[in-house]
Structure formats: structure tokens, C-alpha cells
Amino acid sequence: MLDTLTGGRVVAGMLRGTSNEYVTYGVNPAESRERFVEALRLIVRAWTEPQPFGWLGRHYEYRTVSIWPRPVQDPHPPIVMSISSPEMAEFAAANRIGAGLAVTTVPRAADALRVYRAAAAAHGWEPAPDDVLYRAAVHVADTDAHAWTECAPFATPDRPVGALSMANPAIDDAVAGAGYYGRERAQQRARVASAGDLRERIDTGQLLAGAPQTVLGQVADIRRTLGAGVLELAFIAPSPDSRRRAIELFGEHVLPRMAEL
Amino acid sequence: VTSFAQCRVAADGFDIRYAEAGEGAALVCFHGAGGLRVSPGHELLAARRRVIAFQAPGFGDSPVNDRTATMPELAATMLAAVDALGIDGFDLWGTSFGGRLALWTAIAAPERVRALVLVSPAAIILRPRPQATPELLYAHPERRPAGAPPRPEVQAQQANLVARLMEPHRDPRLEAAMRELAVPTLVLFGTEDRITPPELGRRYVELLPNGHLMLVYDAAHAIDGDRPEAFAAIAEDFLERHEQFVVRRESGVLYP
């Protein structure tokens, strides 16, 4: 429906989901990857199949599937999926799916992209900048000092910017023990728990914050280091007015110059 | 594991071999181009039905079949074999080549076929089919039922017969008859099938007035070998409830 309303501009982001979600929905975390892969196959089939069909999966079973209206993009909207774990980076590359990097840092994203690009090369293709999306939090103010002061409340240890927190850390232990994290278990747990102080978050690209020129420099660094052609930004600010100001500054002074990067 | 008895019946001038197990409503099964092989799917269905898996004349250890010229002729022979077993109404399952044969059989005797299950049917062929290797037949070759493949001369003899009976690849008479076939029909294609790709499935439900397409995830051409439990469950439910199978009958209440 959204693809129809937008005249075919939907890019579909597909995520396995975070460990806490598997707890909430009562799904065995050890089966999360194979559920994700099956669900992705089913969704693409639903987008592309012109006749009603049933699906006899391992994790999903539907006797009749017929979505209406179909997407206008042919064969279907492009897909971006999280590639932070090596398993999913290899899967995305094998299936020519765009790379999404969120709840991460620029150095960790660079590691994940090395796996992704190597696997893509092994499958005979080379991801373009538009195939790489990086997500971060952002705040823009008139000066660096002003922006950083306004961001400070969002970067206390109990407010991880862009990171995931679980009220009860024992739950993440339980999910990890069930096999949610794959072959890089320690690194992946560190990734989603990562936060650091304000300076560290800015330095590692979890948070883009400062005057427009500073933020533009951070964007340029992401473009250069990661080869990312798509930025997904969450504007954080202490008040609606300061958020509006941040969006204006970004729109007037950062966005127009991003095309030059 | 249900054990299948190896039996023979004389029909239409042929000595026809079949494997049989189970009790209850008769389910007649037609094999694919590779010949008769009892699969875990047969075994699971035999728990609640009388499963009769025929070997078509000219396959396996049977003499060379130079007589049967067309699929409708073979369908008449197979109906004679069903008659010879004293069976009137029956359910019918056909795989690949056997799916095409099953369609012709249902077209010849729609009042006798209660429901039809087509597994990776080869009734509509758009492109030359690749040689059916184990890697193409199974998404999980380790699940291939035990037993050696037929001897090379038997394979050549079967391939000759299949090539003759599968002409023409697109048969306007068959497709016209499918439009008139009211028998409830379940059409299964494996998502990993490269012999009859799952995109063919839509063509069957476009033609069959009571046709229902199910895509079997992570199965290749030999669906009942790759995903026997899933195959048997959906086939069993469809044979029991026909088109009502789209409706869930289990209650959604977790605890009263």
C-alpha cells in the first residue's frame, strides 16, 4: 500500500529483531535467524506472486496469501537488512540485499562491511553506495558547545544513544544463553550494549552532534570510511523547539552539501 | 515405519506392480519420471489411509512398454488397474510426470476421483527440463529414501516412454479439460525446485476451478522426500476437508 501511495519509492528494511523482542513474543531466540530467512522469502513471494497461494514453511504456515494492492515496483521494492553479524552479512551479500548498519559504531560497521563486501565479491557483484545504509542519532545547534550541552542528558550511562538497553540485564544473559547471538557472540553483545560517554559516542559515530560544519565532517567521515550512500538519522533534542532548530540547521547547511561528498 | 507390501495386478493387458500399505479410504499414487519409490510421505499417509502406489507399465522391472502412445491411454490403463482392485471412489496423488497422469485420470473419471494432490506436476512445461539429478530433486539430498537408482538400461527405457508421453509439452486439450475439472485439487510446488519452478504453480490455479496452490518452503522437486511431515499434514488435511482446508478449525483459546 505504501509503495502504491508513494509511486514506488518504498525501500523495505528487514530486521531480525532484538533479543528482548524474542522474549516478549515467546519465540525461541535460537531459531531467530531461520525464522527471519523464511519470513523474508515469504514476504518477497507475497509481493511477487500474482495468484493467491499458500505457504507451508518450517515456522510459518498460511493457507491463502494474497496481498492487495501489490507493490508498484517491479519485481518488488528494494530490501535493506541488518548486516551487523557476519552470518547476516554473508546472507545479505549472497542474496544481493542492501546492507543496513544500526545500533553500532563506525569502526564496528567497517568490520561488518568488510565481511559483506568480500561475500558480495564471492557472489560476483559489488555493492554500490546506495546499497549501504548507516543509522545514527543526530543533533545540530549553532555551536559545537551548545549542541554537546543539549545532547549530554541523552548520553548518560542509563540512556544509551542508539544502543539497546534491557531493564534487566539477566534477560539478555538468558537470551544469549539460548543461542540468539551467533558465532561472534561476545562482539555482538558488546555492540548492542555499547554506549560510552558523550565524547566517545561522537568519536565513534554513534552520535552526530555539533555545529553544521562539525556534523558535515562526521557525515563525510561515514561516507569515506564506510562508503555508505544512505544515512538514516534520528533527531534527538531536549525540546521540540531545539529539535526543530536542529532539523532546520541540518536542512540548510548540511544536507545541501552532502551531495558533494 | 509402515511396511509396504509388494503386489501385482493384471489390468488392460499389463501385469502392473504396486506397493500397498494402510487401511481406510483409498489413496492412489502415481510416481514421477524416475519410477516408483516409496517415500516417507507415502509411509506417513499410510497411517490413516489405504495407500496404493502403482508402477506404470514400462517403468522399473516391468517389460518395455511400446504400446502406450499417449497420456490419456495410460490413464485408461491405470483406471483399469484401480477397477481390478475393486475400488470405486478414490483420492489421487501424482508427482511430476505422475501429476500429469493424475490430471488425465481425473479428467477421464471425475466422478470417481474425490480429491487430487499434485506434487511438482509436469502438466505444463514451458522450457526443456534439466536432467533430474539427486541435487536437483532434493534440497536436502541426505533425505533421499534408501535404495539404488534403476539400472542404466531401465533408466533409458523409462526416459523413452516419458519423452513419448509428455508430448506436447503444452497440451491445449489437457489445459482445456483442466478448466472444466471440478475435482478439488491441491497443487504443491517446492520453493527450491529447479525442475518445475514454483512460478509454474499460478498457471494451475488459473486453470483449475477448484485448484489451491501451496508453496512448500525449503523443498525441491521431491517435496515428499524433502519435507515429508509438512507434505503429509497438508495432504491429509486437504484430502479430508477439500477446499475447507483454508479455514482453521483448531480453537485459538490457549486455556479455558
* Per-residue pLDDT, B62: 94
Q: Which residues of B touch A63 (CB under 8 A)?
A: 212, 214, 245-248
Query: Does ipTM surpass 0.85 in this model?
Result: yes
Cα distances from A227 to residues A221, A232, A244, in angstroms, run: 9, 14, 29
Q: Do B215 and A52 touch (CB under 8 A)?
A: no
The predicted model gives B172-199 an average pLDDT of: 97
Hey, CA dihedral for B86, B92, B93, B97, is it positive or negative?
Answer: positive
CB B30 within 8 A of CB B94: yes
* Per-residue pLDDT, A204: 92
Q: Do B214 and A58 touch (CB under 8 A)?
A: no
> Who's near B97: CB < 8 A, 6+ residues apart?
B30, B31, B32, B33, B122, B162, B165, B166
* Per-residue pLDDT, B2: 65
On whether any CB of chain B is under 8 Å from the CB of A66, the answer is no
Q: Do A63 and B218 touch (CB under 8 A)?
A: no
Alpha carbon of A61: minimum distance to chain B alpha carbons (Å): 9
Q: Which of B248, B203, B241, B208 is nearest to B115 (CA)?
A: B241
Distance from C-alpha of A4 to C-alpha of A108, rounded to nearest angstrom: 36
Q: Do A38 and B217 touch (CB under 8 A)?
A: yes
Distance from C-alpha of B247 to C-alpha of B243, rounded to nearest angstrom: 8
Size of interface A-B (CB pairs under 8 A): 54
Cell of B30: 502415481
Helix, strand or coil for residue B168?
Answer: coil
The predicted model gives B26-44 an average pLDDT of: 96
Alpha carbon of A11: minimum distance to chain B alpha carbons (Å): 24
Mean pLDDT of chain A: 91
Taking CA–CA distances from A46, the nearest residue in chain B reads: B215
Alpha carbon of A58: minimum distance to chain B alpha carbons (Å): 7
Q: Which residues of A touch B217 (CB under 8 A)?
A: 38, 41-42, 55-58, 60
Q: Do A56 and B212 touch (CB under 8 A)?
A: no
Question: Cell numbers 491429509 label which residue?
Answer: B236
Distance from C-alpha of B203 to C-alpha of A251, rounded to nearest angstrom: 51
Residue B38 has pLDDT above 80, yes or no: yes
Amino acid at position A117, single letter: R
Q: Which residues of B touch A46 (CB under 8 A)?
A: none
Question: Cell numbers 554500490 label which residue?
Answer: A128
Which of A53, A60, A61 is most worth mutating to test chain B (most B CB atoms within 10 A of its CB)?
A53
> Who's near A222: CB < 8 A, 6+ residues apart?
A106, A134, A136, A205, A228, A231
The percentage of chain B sitting over the pLDDT mark of 70, rounded to a whole number, equals: 99
pLDDT band at A161 (very low <50, low <70, confident <90, very high): low
Q: What is the pTM of this model?
A: 0.91
Sort strands B14-21 and B5-11 into parallel, antiparallel or unpaired.
antiparallel
pLDDT tens digits, residue range A173-204?
888 888 888 887 777 777 766 667 889 899 99
Distance from C-alpha of A195 to C-alpha of A158, rounded to nearest angstrom: 9
A52: exposed, middle or buried (C-beta count within 10 Å: 0-12, 13-18, 19+)? middle
pLDDT tens digits, residue range A199-227?
989 999 999 999 999 999 999 999 999 99
Task: Please calculate the CA angle A245-A251-A254 and round it to the nearest 5 degrees.
Answer: 110
Q: Which residues of chain A from 20 to 49 reach within 8 Å of chain B, CB to CB?
A: 38, 41-42, 45, 49
Higher local confidence (pLDDT), A151 or B233: B233
A102-128 residues labelled b (16+ CB within 10 A) or e (exposed): bbbbbebbbbbbebbbebbeeeeeebe
Q: Which of B201, B206, B214 sits opposite A56 (nearest CB)?
A: B214
Q: Which of B15, B233, B29 is nearest to B113 (CA)?
A: B29
DSSP A102: -
Alpha carbon of B30: minimum distance to chain A alpha carbons (Å): 22
Distance from C-alpha of B185 to C-alpha of B208, rounded to nearest angstrom: 8
Q: Do B217 and A50 touch (CB under 8 A)?
A: no
Alpha carbon of A16: minimum distance to chain B alpha carbons (Å): 19
Residue A70 has pLDDT above 60, yes or no: yes
Residue B51 has pLDDT above 60, yes or no: yes
CB atoms within 10 A of CB B173: 13
Q: Do B246 and A63 touch (CB under 8 A)?
A: yes
Cα distances from B16 to residues B43, B65, B69, B247, in angstroms, run: 21, 12, 17, 39
On whether any CB of chain B is under 8 Å from the CB of A199, the answer is no
Residue A261 has pLDDT above 90, yes or no: no
Alpha carbon of B96: minimum distance to chain A alpha carbons (Å): 19
Which of B192, B193, B213 is most worth mutating to test chain A (most A CB atoms within 10 A of its CB)?
B213
Taking CA–CA distances from A58, the nearest residue in chain B reads: B217
Q: Do B213 and A53 touch (CB under 8 A)?
A: yes
